A and B are shown apart, each in its own frame.
With several copies, the nearest count.
Chain A
Amino acid sequence: MNPLAILRKDCERPIVNIDDFSLLDERDHLHYLDSAATTQKPRAVLQAMQSYYEQHNANPHRGAYELSAQSTEAYERSRKRIARFLGVADVDTLIFTRGTTESLNVLATAWGRANVKAGDRIVVTRMEHHANFVPWQQLALAVGAEFVIAELAPGGVLDLDHLAQCCTPNTKVVAFGQVSNALGTINPVSEIVRIARTTGALVVCDGAQGVPHFDAAVDALGVDAYVFSGHKMLGPMGIGGLVVRREILEAMPPYQFGGDMIALVGDERSTWNVLPHKFEAGTPNVAGAVGLAAAAQYLDGIGMSRVRAHEAALLAYTTARLTEVPGVTVLGPPPERRSGVVSFVLDEVHPHDIAQVLDSAGVCVRSGHHCAQPLMRALKVSATTRASFYVYNDADDVDALIVALLTTRDRMGLA
């Protein structure tokens, strides 16, 4: 076999049963390459939510009757299951939120307003998603702190030397992504943590693009806070999480106030419930948690090392085949340092037009700034085209991408 054929063979089939994904199963010619934005959902996830609603639906925590107890049990069992998947031992330090964006806003507001003062410093990186950039920027503006961006080294990786320079003693927050959604860059978490620990900062890791793609082993990362979204890891929309070290969570004021999070509500003052309830005001999204637990179960069934290997294989094959398309430049570091993401520009064609032509061939890719305008400025592009892979993709999807890119050049009148 020629080298390309070998690469193709390594990702010839998806690592899941495609029947599990109705949308992909039923639309035969759909090549869904936008999993970094959101993933498709296996039947097991939809089924788990449906069963919950059909068999145990009730408001949890507050009811003395059996159905409500079942709902509570479903909710708390889901928390345990997801904590296990994440590698989080202290289950009650996993707070359910709507997703990564909310989790980061909880930190920037509840922790940030209580702990960051004028003259303090907040450090983020150049490659952050807006969700891990704007909340910190706005916190800094609100309290008069300094907002500092650790820049990139050539090749779309973080400049660790610059990060070290940024981490002055007055640094109160160091926030970074485990994996860049725009480039796929896998950040060296342990080195970042080591640098950040030279300060007394809260070390925040945005795992939105980490936990779906490899074993997150959150406790082992050594960070103070870890955040993620369910919908990017086969789970439903509207659910995600925030994991924070217990001492920090206990010292932190609540983010939202209302039912379930209180202990005593006086006319003048109130006191708060224990973890995790203190940070979960209002009726929880039990069905969402149940669906997310089913997603964790499904991913564990595949094995996260297989997920990682499959994405790496798809990436290798794509990288090889992209050389067939004249004028393509892939952004970011070499494939070994990337998760299953290919972000590229094509000479003389705007990403929006690429996405449009690709769509007409059933190839779904994202075009734009990928919620990373600060990164786009540094890369001196206004937008890129991004293909991102997951467990249900295979070499056919890559082939379709390549053919469609050649068509695009054609269609746009390039020689």
Chain B
Amino acid sequence: MSAELEELYQSIILDHNRRPQNFRVMEDASGHADGLNPLCGDQVTVWIKLDGDRVADVSFQGQGCAISKASASLMTQAVKGKTLAETQAIFDRFHAMVTGQGAEGITGGMKALSGVSKFPLRVKCASLGWHAMKAALDNAAP
């Protein structure tokens, strides 16, 4: 078992995979969007509720690997309660981290996703929920 693999499947990731946060349908969302990885069939839906320019609530559902599920779960934790500008900044930091451009400014559980950068094939898995979140924001009725 390589050290890189240890880092990929940290216990935080496994926990979020087993017990994903905010893993539910949201009836009164301002917007939602689907994400699909045609290569592996993974699929996620993200719901967003806005309160002014703040993410009042965010949730997701879908099927996918541990990385995609944990990453979506961590995403919901990271952006809930944040302003749109903050959300964008978090997205950018996440993206920089998983594509190997450094983990600057990353806080909390999201750090556990840093191992992904060593596995370029898994960047898509880790990003699936994040891109769906961005798309849900774009779709959101203000």
By a beta-carbon cutoff of 8 Å, the part of chain A in contact with chain B is 61-62, 64, 69, 262-264, 273, 348-353, 356-357, 360-361, 367-369, 373, 376, 382-383, 407, 411-413
- Once bound together, how far apart are the Cα atoms of A411 and B119, in whole Å? 17
Q: Which 4 A-B pairs have the closest CB atoms?
A: A352-B65, A350-B65, A369-B41, A368-B40
Summarize A's interface: helix, strand, loop or mixed.
mixed
B125 an interface residue at 8 Å Cβ cutoff? yes
Judge whether B40 and A369 touch: CB under 8 Å. Answer: yes
Question: What's the interface size class on B, roughly?
Answer: 20 to 34
B120 an interface residue at 8 Å Cβ cutoff? yes
Shortest distance between the CB of B43 and any CB in chain A (Å): 7
B98 an interface residue at 8 Å Cβ cutoff? no
Judge whether A350 and B5 touch: CB under 8 Å. Answer: no
- Once bound together, how far apart are the Cα atoms of A373 and B37, in whole Å? 13
Q: Contacting A61 at CB < 8 Å: which of B8, B39, B43?
A: B39
B88 an interface residue at 8 Å Cβ cutoff? no
Interface residues of B in 13-72 (CB under 8 A from A): 14, 17-18, 36, 38-43, 63-67, 69
Judge whether A376 and B41 touch: CB under 8 Å. Answer: yes
Judge whether A413 and B125 touch: CB under 8 Å. Answer: no
B131 an interface residue at 8 Å Cβ cutoff? no
Judge whether B5 and A367 touch: CB under 8 Å. Answer: no
Judge whether B38 and A262 touch: CB under 8 Å. Answer: yes
Q: Which of B1, B18, B41 has the most CB of A within 10 A?
A: B41
- Once bound together, how far apart are the Cα atoms of A62 and B38, in whole Å? 10
Q: Contacting A413 at CB < 8 Å: which of B8, B14, B39, B122?
A: B14
Q: Which of B8, B120, B121 has the most CB of A within 10 A?
A: B121
- 14 CB contacts below 8 A, A to B, read A264-B36, A264-B38, A348-B18, A352-B40, A353-B66, A356-B119, A368-B40, A368-B41, A382-B63, A383-B40, A383-B42, A411-B5, A413-B11, A413-B14
Judge whether B40 and A356 touch: CB under 8 Å. Answer: no
Considering the complex, give the chain B residue whose CB is closest to the CB of A404: B1
Judge whether B1 and A407 touch: CB under 8 Å. Answer: yes
Besides the known contacts A64-B121, A69-B121, 4 further A-B residue pairs in the complex with CB atoms under 8 A apart: A350-B66, A353-B67, A368-B40, A411-B9
Considering the complex, give the chain B residue whose CB is closest to the CB of A350: B65
| Known contacts A264-B36, A382-B41; A411 and B1 CB within 8 A of each other | yes
Shortest distance between the CB of B139 and any CB in chain A (Å): 18
Give the chain B neighbours of A351 by CB distance below 8 A: 40, 65
Shortest distance between the CB of B15 and any CB in chain A (Å): 8
Judge whether B14 and A412 touch: CB under 8 Å. Answer: yes
Q: Contacting A356 at CB < 8 Å: which of B5, B38, B64?
A: B5
Shortest distance between the CB of B71 and any CB in chain A (Å): 13
- Once bound together, how far apart are the Cα atoms of A237 and B43, in whole Å? 31
Q: Contacting B66 at CB < 8 Å: which of A263, A264, A382, A412?
A: A412
Give the chain A neighbours of B9 by CB distance below 8 A: 353, 357, 411-412
- Once bound together, how far apart are the Cα atoms of A359 and B4, in whole Å? 12
| Known contacts A263-B36, A273-B38, A368-B41; A350 and B120 CB within 8 A of each other | no
Shortest distance between the CB of B125 and any CB in chain A (Å): 7
Q: Contacting B2 at CB < 8 Å: which of A262, A360, A367?
A: A360
Considering the complex, give the chain A residue whose CB is closest to the CB of B121: A69
Judge whether B38 and A263 touch: CB under 8 Å. Answer: yes
Considering the complex, give the chain B residue whose CB is closest to the CB of A263: B38
Give the chain A neighbours of B66 by CB distance below 8 A: 349-350, 352-353, 412
Judge whether A383 and B41 touch: CB under 8 Å. Answer: yes
Give the chain A neighbours of B11 by CB distance below 8 A: 413
Give the chain B neighbours of A61 by CB distance below 8 A: 39
Judge whether B41 and A373 touch: CB under 8 Å. Answer: yes
- Once bound together, how far apart are the Cα atoms of A6 and B9, in whole Å? 37
